């Protein structure tokens, strides 16, 4: 994502608008191509050399801030090699030698004399030691890999990042999507669950309306949550027709309304097809082979209350009988959990199960309500294979 200093927007009369760039802009495309070329050559090279080369190219673009944004997005696609212990070991030896040499120093002696003592103690040329002393700093480490991207896709990614960057400062995001029966909407709702967003889904005549809490509304973990929200936003443009409205509160700026629609130059970077399952979930499901049961990762949303919709995370489907629908609540979901408990009290649904992350159950009030609830269970991160098996066994027994 783009850092705040790289966000370009217009803020006027209470409305905020990203300053989108035109992917047909020749000069920008040329800069993007040059930058992508530099990034593509990065693996094996020290990160700082690549940063310097990209920074130099960005500076000569007529809009250097746009070009620096492209650089940041390319840097995000690079993995830097893990630091080994060689530099750390060298530092330990060098600092010990340096302390000993310093203690032996005469206040009036020249520095070169001290250097000679150091070199003798370390048994290797001082310049060699100096060059390797901090070779494990991130900038000095080599780039290990770069996730390729075309110049055009980079510009699309930039426009999306401008929008994502503003949404990171939102208190609340309202999103109008189509009818939940549409496959794209189902995929988006499912992705929303994987992103663990705090959302309230309502069904209307024209389709679903999602009310998503923004990072600015959270007391803790706002940064991680903001990144999850940015991931979610990357999937929204796949809908084609949609409308988003958010109240954005940038530091030292008046609050403003951001409005985005399917007509904006935003392309989805969501790579997850209809069968996409995050790695952590896939690992659990591979272990959770429950005889007589299958796992449905895209169960249909369920109506809750008058207009509310619950978007289950998954359903355990027996060979015969009604599926067991599971909704998970993570550390940010206290309000949503309380709402769901009230809804279940008002209109019981015996096939519904509530999974509550232990991070959320640290709250004594939440813990007390969960312990007493026959349809709730605890998990950490994602329910384990054993927890899923226990759910199925209990349902079969009852």
The footprint of other proteins on residues 2-41 (CB under 8 A) is none
Of 49 and 343, which has the nearer Cβ to other proteins? 49
Residue 123 near other proteins by CB under 8 A: no
Residue 117 near other proteins by CB under 8 A: no
Of 91 and 171, which has the nearer Cβ to other proteins? 91
Residue 107 near other proteins by CB under 8 A: yes
Residue 66 contacts residue 158 (beta carbons within 8 Å): yes
Residue 99 near other proteins by CB under 8 A: yes
- Distance CA(329)–CA(302), nearest Å, equals 16
Residue 82 near other proteins by CB under 8 A: no
* Region binding other proteins by CB under 8 A among candidate stretches 107-115, 226-234, 286-294, 339-347: 107-115
* Region binding other proteins by CB under 8 A among candidate stretches 49-57, 109-117, 369-377, 379-387: 109-117
Angle subtended at Cα 47 by Cα 162 and Cα 84, rounded to the nearest 5 degrees: 125
Measured in whole angstroms, how far is the alpha carbon of residue 355 from the centre of its chain? 22
Of 48 and 179, which has the nearer Cβ to other proteins? 48
Output the smallest distance, CB 134 to other proteins, in A: 6
* Region binding other proteins by CB under 8 A among candidate stretches 91-99, 162-170, 261-269, 368-376: 91-99
Output the smallest distance, CB 230 to other proteins, in A: 24
Residue 222 near other proteins by CB under 8 A: no
- Distance CA(356)–CA(365), nearest Å, equals 13
The footprint of other proteins on residues 283-312 (CB under 8 A) is none
Find the binder of other proteins among 33, 77, 91, 302 (CB under 8 A): 91
Residue 138 near other proteins by CB under 8 A: yes
Output the smallest distance, CB 101 to other proteins, in A: 8
Of 103 and 319, which has the nearer Cβ to other proteins? 103
Strand partners, 356: 329, 378
Of 112 and 347, which has the nearer Cβ to other proteins? 112
Residue 88 near other proteins by CB under 8 A: yes
Residue 109 near other proteins by CB under 8 A: yes
- Distance CA(2)–CA(4), nearest Å, equals 6
Alpha-carbon distances, residue 304 vs 91, 146, 201 (angstroms): 62, 45, 10
Measured in whole angstroms, how far is the alpha carbon of residue 79 from the centre of its chain? 16
- Distance CA(231)–CA(270), nearest Å, equals 8
- Distance CA(318)–CA(373), nearest Å, equals 23
- Distance CA(267)–CA(242), nearest Å, equals 13
Q: What is the torsional sign of CA 369, 372, 373, 376?
A: positive
Residue 105 near other proteins by CB under 8 A: yes
Output the smallest distance, CB 359 to other proteins, in A: 22
Pick from 72, 64, 74, 104: nearest CA to 4: 72
* Region binding other proteins by CB under 8 A among candidate stretches 67-75, 130-138, 238-246, 311-319: 130-138
**Backbone dihedral angles phi then psi of residue 368, each to the nearest 5 degrees:** -65, -40
Residue 134 near other proteins by CB under 8 A: yes
Residue 395 near other proteins by CB under 8 A: no
Of 71 and 87, which has the nearer Cβ to other proteins? 87
Kindly determine how many residues on this chain lie close enough to bind other proteins according to the rule CB under 8 A.
25
Residue 94 near other proteins by CB under 8 A: yes
* Contacting residues toward other proteins, per CB under 8 A: 83, 88, 91, 94-99, 102-103, 105-109, 111, 114, 118, 129-130, 133-134, 137-138
């Amino acid at each position: 994502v783009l850092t705040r200093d790289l966000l370009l927007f217009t803020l006027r009369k209470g409305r905020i608008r990203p300053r989108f760039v035109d992917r047909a802009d020749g000069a920008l495309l040329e800069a993007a191509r040059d930058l992508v070329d530099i990034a593509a050559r990065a693996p094996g090279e020290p990160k700082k050399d690549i940063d310097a080369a990209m920074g130099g190219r960005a500076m000569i673009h007529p809009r250097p801030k746009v070009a620096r944004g492209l650089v940041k997005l390319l840097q995000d696609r690079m993995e830097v090699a893990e630091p080994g212990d060689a530099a750390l070991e060298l530092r330990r030896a060098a600092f010990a030698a340096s302390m000993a040499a310093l203690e032996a120093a005469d206040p009036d002696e020249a520095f070169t004399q001290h250097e000679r003592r150091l070199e003798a103690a370390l048994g290797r040329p001082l310049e060699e030691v100096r060059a390797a002393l901090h070779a494990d700093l991130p900038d000095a480490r080599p780039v290990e890999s770069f996730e390729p991207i075309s110049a055009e896709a980079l510009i699309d990614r930039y426009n999306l990042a401008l929008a994502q960057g503003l949404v990171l400062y939102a208190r609340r995001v309202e999103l109008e999507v189509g009818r939940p029966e549409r496959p794209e909407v189902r995929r988006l709702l499912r992705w929303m669950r994987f992103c663990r967003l705090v959302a309230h889904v309502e069904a209307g005549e024209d389709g679903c309306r999602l009310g998503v809490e923004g990072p600015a509304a959270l007391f803790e973990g706002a940064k991680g949550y903001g990144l999850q929200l940015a991931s979610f936003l990357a999937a929204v443009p796949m809908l084609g027709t949609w409308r988003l409205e958010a109240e954005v509160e940038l530091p030292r700026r008046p609050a403003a309304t951001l409005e985005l629609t399917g007509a904006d130059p935003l392309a989805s970077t969501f790579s997850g097809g209809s069968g996409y399952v995050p790695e952590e979930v896939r690992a659990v499901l591979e272990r959770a082979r429950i005889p007589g049961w299958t796992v449905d990762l895209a169960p249909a949303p369920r109506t809750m209350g008058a207009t509310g919709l619950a978007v289950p995370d998954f359903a355990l489907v027996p060979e015969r009988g009604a599926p067991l629908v599971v909704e998970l609540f993570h550390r940010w979901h206290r309000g949503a959990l309380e709402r769901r408990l009230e809804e279940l009290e008002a209109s019981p649904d015996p096939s519904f199960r509530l999974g509550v992350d232990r991070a959320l159950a640290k709250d004594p009030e939440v813990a007390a309500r969960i312990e007493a609830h026959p349809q709730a269970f605890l998990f950490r991160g994602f329910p384990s294979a054993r927890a899923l098996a226990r759910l199925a066994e209990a349902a079969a027994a009852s």
